[in-house]
A = this chain, B = another copy of it.
Amino acid sequence: MSTVTCDLTVSLDGFAAGPHPTRDRPFGDVVGTGEVLHAWMFDHAAGHRAELAGILDGGAFVMGRGMFSPDTGPWDHQWHGWWGEEPPYRAPVFVLTHHERPALAMGGGTTFHFVTTGLDDAVSRARDAADGRPVVIAGGARTVNACLRAGLIDELRLHLVPVVLGIADGVRIFDGVGRRDLDAVSARHTPEVTHLVYRRRRAD
């Protein structure tokens, strides 16, 4: 059966993005939030090849509506996500939403499937599609928290950036998850980010 993994880049105070994302600013209206969180990926990629590969190492992906689009309500079918015509997933991506939409096939092997039947169903469909390869929970923080609360994530990889964002609102990793004991697997320090790996604790 597929392992369910999740990578999330977070600030020291647990934010993965600022509030109020827009089409122009996927990481929200606190200017620079996306840049400061993701500099390790873009400005220092050579030092993080293994971790970057892991983020996209999925046979299928699951993401929240807000990870695909900042819009709410019925779909604007012209919106194809933030990744251009050839998204980096190159596999089926199951997008959680309350609004039906036909599957959207993009270049390079990515197809977005819009799931209106809830998280468990999305993960179940992703498991089927992944055919033994990992299922990757692609964010955002609200979806990650829902998965953690449901005990769905086998391996959580936090990329901890040495900044306190101090955002007044916004969703933080672990908000509403409740008590969870995890197994700490590894930590790798670099000046721009600390890579922390946790696994779900197996029942004794």
A186 adjacent to chain B (CB < 8 Å)? yes
- What 0/1 pattern do residues 61 to 82 of A give for CB contact below 8 A with B? 0000000000000000000000
Given A13-B14, A163-B181, residue A188 in contact with residue B191 (CB < 8 A): no
How many residues of chain A are within 8 Å of chain B by beta carbon? 34
Given A13-B174, A14-B13, A174-B13, residue A164 in contact with residue B182 (CB < 8 A): yes
A162 adjacent to chain B (CB < 8 Å)? yes
Q: Which residues of B contact A177 (CB under 8 A)?
A: 13, 164, 166
Q: Which residues of B contact A194 (CB under 8 A)?
A: 184, 187, 196
Interface residues of chain A, those whose CB is within 8 Å of chain B, are 12-14, 36, 148, 160, 162-166, 173-184, 186-194, 196, 198
